[in-house]
């Protein structure tokens, strides 16, 4: 309201009001059935409340004279803005992120089981740079990798692979003592080192594990076995069944562990 003329001021005539607010004010006087503007967004509601707040403060203040309750009135108006916009702006939003872990192989082969006393140290796993992201990598073509928008690893991938390898080795060699923490040369009889080159899914759901692995004698550092493995397994796509796709990746680690266990049985 104009304090000089005591007449209401049209909201759309305020020069500092955004164009969208002036248009919304003009449309508010149009019958609902003739309106073509959709429901105001959160931003529009906020600006509307801000305009009303400023208009309200100016209408009760005397020009060039301090108003005793001005600060209190401004605080009340500011709270009104948040009350007007808060109900719509701070609604709970569903978190679409899903976190996954690799699992030990449930169907470990019995061919390499042996009743032998071994102490095996599983060294930290080496990963290429593109696999050090927390999001699951998906290959698209020969040279393109993209990362799942919502599928993420719940742990560091190198730690997860090391954990699964140690668990599978304990299943395949039940009498062996498998260590993943730091050890002294005399604490273990064999060391297992794995260097991952590829560990990914493609868009059709095929999981690929490519790595170089070796077993080392900790006494003299001699390489007991050096091998290169490429393991492919078909499973569901990550986009439609992320839990099944992660399970397929776990199965490739199970097959790798079978190879390593067979080599440890021979060299042990």
Per residue in 16-25, pLDDT (tens digit) is: 455 655 565 5
Return the minimum-mean-pLDDT range out of 1-5, 54-58, 87-91, 202-206. 1-5
pLDDT at 221: 85
- Contact predicate 265/116, CB 8 Å: yes
Q: How far apart are CA 238 and CA 100, in angstroms?
A: 12
pLDDT at 92: 72
Predicted TM-score (pTM) of the model is 0.66
- The two structure tokens encoding residue 82: 């948040």
Return the minimum-mean-pLDDT range out of 31-35, 42-46, 109-113, 161-165. 31-35
**Would you give the end-to-end CA distance of the chain in angstroms?**
93
3-state secondary structure 143-173: CCEEEEEEEEECCCHHHHHHHHHHHHHHHHC
**Whether pLDDT at 177 is above 80:** yes
Return the minimum-mean-pLDDT range out of 108-112, 162-166, 180-184, 189-193. 108-112
Q: What are phi and psi of 57, to 5 degrees?
A: -65, -40
Spell out the domains of the chain, with CATH numbers in brackets: 11-89 (no CATH), 98-267 (3.40.50.10610)
Return the minimum-mean-pLDDT range out of 30-39, 164-173, 238-247. 30-39
Q: pLDDT tens for residues 62-112?
A: 444 555 555 565 666 566 655 555 555 556 777 889 999 999 974 555 554
Q: What are phi and psi of 9, to 5 degrees?
A: -105, 130
Burial label for 71, CB within 10 Å (0-12, 13-18, 19+), is exposed
Q: How far apart are CA 232 and CA 162, in angstroms?
A: 19
Q: How far apart are CA 264 and CA 121, in angstroms?
A: 11
Bigger pLDDT: 221 vs 223: 223
Q: Which residues pair with 207 in a beta bridge?
A: 201, 233
- The mean pLDDT value for 137-151 works out to 94
- Contact predicate 234/216, CB 8 Å: no
Q: How far apart are CA 49 and CA 65, in angstroms?
A: 25
- The two structure tokens encoding residue 79: 């709270």
pLDDT at 96: 86
Torsion of CA 125, 127, 133, 134, to 10 degrees: -20
Residue 75 three-state SS:
helix
Average pLDDT taken over every residue of the chain: 78
**Whether pLDDT at 235 is above 60:** yes
């Amino acid at each position: 309201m104009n304090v000089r003329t005591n007449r209401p001021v049209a909201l759309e005539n305020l020069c500092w009001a955004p164009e969208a607010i002036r248009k919304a004010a003009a449309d508010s006087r149009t019958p609902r059935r003739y309106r073509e503007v959709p429901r105001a967004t959160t931003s529009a509601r906020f600006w509307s409340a801000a305009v009303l707040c400023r208009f309200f403060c100016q209408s009760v203040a005397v020009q060039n004279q301090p108003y005793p309750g001005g600060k209190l009135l401004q605080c009340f108006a500011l709270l009104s803005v948040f009350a007007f916009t808060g109900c719509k702006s701070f609604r709970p939003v569903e978190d679409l992120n899903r976190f996954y872990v690799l699992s030990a192989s449930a169907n470990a082969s019995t061919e390499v089981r042996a009743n032998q006393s071994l102490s095996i140290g599983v060294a930290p796993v080496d990963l290429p740079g593109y696999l050090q992201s927390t999001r699951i990598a998906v290959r698209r073509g020969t040279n393109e990798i993209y990362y799942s928008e919502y599928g993420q690893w719940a742990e560091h991938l190198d730690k997860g692979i090391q954990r699964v390898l140690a668990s599978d080795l304990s299943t395949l060699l039940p009498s062996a003592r498998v260590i993943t923490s730091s050890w002294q040369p005399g604490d273990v009889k064999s060391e297992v080192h794995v260097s991952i080159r590829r560990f990914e899914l493609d868009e059709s759901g095929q999981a690929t594990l490519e790595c170089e692995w070796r077993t080392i004698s900790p006494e003299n550092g001699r390489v007991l076995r050096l091998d290169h493995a490429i393991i492919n397994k078909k499973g569901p796509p990550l986009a439609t069944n992320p839990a099944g796709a992660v399970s397929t990746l776990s199965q490739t680690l199970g097959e790798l562990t079978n190879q390593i266990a067979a080599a440890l049985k021979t060299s042990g």
